């Protein structure tokens, strides 16, 4: 039995400002601006603190891993690393085992800058969640995880469909 999703949106009454995607994007933009403002003393931009924090948390250690973790293409990741390297936050080191692999290491300055990020993230997010009860907060996370699960399922289905050879020839 296939589950039929309700139609929450209809073309004749669609208003972007009422869409879940618009609201999430708007919230994300406001949170990102607040984080960047709080990190202004570090000279880190929103585009830089995210990969720096992923490196700090060992979510990536190579250029390719960082590109995937940040959902950037290789060219954008290279330009980003150029700027971060110029600020003395990271250094690229070619792998001795596989010369095609470029590892990324935090410098002491990068490690110090990244260590401050969790405090800022907690302050900013707690401020944006002002007025929520613990139960509301947990429910919100559950709803957002459900949307994310749906998005990942749709992406996987789209990727599988793109990988299936066409029989219309």
> Domain extents for the chain?
30-158
Task: Please report the pLDDT score of residue 32 as a whole number.
Answer: 92
pLDDT at 111 (0 to 100)? 95
pLDDT of residue 167: 59
Please state which CATH number belongs to domain 30-158. 1.10.10.10
pTM of the model: 0.79
**pLDDT for the residue 115:** 92
Which token pair is 162? 């793109």
pLDDT attached to residue 147: 95
Residue 166 has pLDDT above 80, yes or no: no
| pLDDT, average across residues 2-19 | 87
| Percentage with pLDDT > 90 across the chain | 75
Report helix, strand or coil for 147.
helix
Instruction: Write down the pLDDT at residue 1.
Output: 58
Taking each helix axis as running N to C, give the angle between helix 46-56 and helix 63-70, from 0 to 180 degrees, rounded to the nearest 10. 120
Q: What is the pLDDT, as a whole number, of residue 5?
A: 74
From the list 47, 18, 67, 40, the residue with the least C-alpha distance to 124 is 40
Tokens of 154: 């749709």
CB contact at 8 A, 104 and 66: yes
Query: Would you say residue 118 has pLDDT above 80?
Result: yes
Instruction: Collect all residues with Cβ–Cβ distance below 8 Å to 34 and sequence separation of at least 6.
Output: 124, 127, 128
Mean pLDDT value of segment 22-34: 95
DSSP 8-state code for residue 9: -
**Mean pLDDT estimate for the chain:** 91
| pLDDT tens digits for range 85-117 | 999 999 999 888 888 888 999 999 999 999 989
HEC-encoded secondary structure of 45-109? CHHHHHHHHHHHCCCCCEHHHHHHHHCCCHHHHHHHHHHHHHCCCEEEEECCCCCCCEEEEECHH
Sequence-ordered list of residues with C-beta below 8 angstroms from that of 157, at least 6 positions apart, any chain = none
């Amino acid at each position: 039995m296939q589950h039929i999703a309700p139609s929450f949106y209809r073309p004749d009454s669609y208003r972007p400002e009422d869409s879940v995607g618009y609201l999430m994007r708007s919230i994300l933009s406001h949170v990102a601006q607040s984080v960047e403002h709080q990190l202004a003393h570090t000279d880190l931009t929103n585009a830089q603190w995210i990969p720096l924090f992923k490196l700090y948390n060992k979510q990536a250690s190579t250029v390719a891993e960082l590109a995937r973790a940040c959902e950037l293409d290789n060219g954008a990741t290279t330009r980003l690393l150029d700027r971060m390297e110029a600020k003395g936050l990271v250094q690229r080191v070619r792998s001795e085992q596989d010369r095609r692999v470029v590892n990324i290491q935090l410098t002491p300055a990068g490690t110090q800058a990244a260590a401050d990020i969790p405090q800022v993230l907690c302050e900013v997010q707690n401020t944006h969640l002002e007025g929520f009860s613990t139960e509301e907060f947990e429910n919100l996370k559950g709803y957002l995880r459900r949307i994310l699960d749906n998005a990942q399922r749709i992406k996987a289905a789209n990727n599988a469909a793109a990988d299936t050879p066409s029989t219309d020839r």
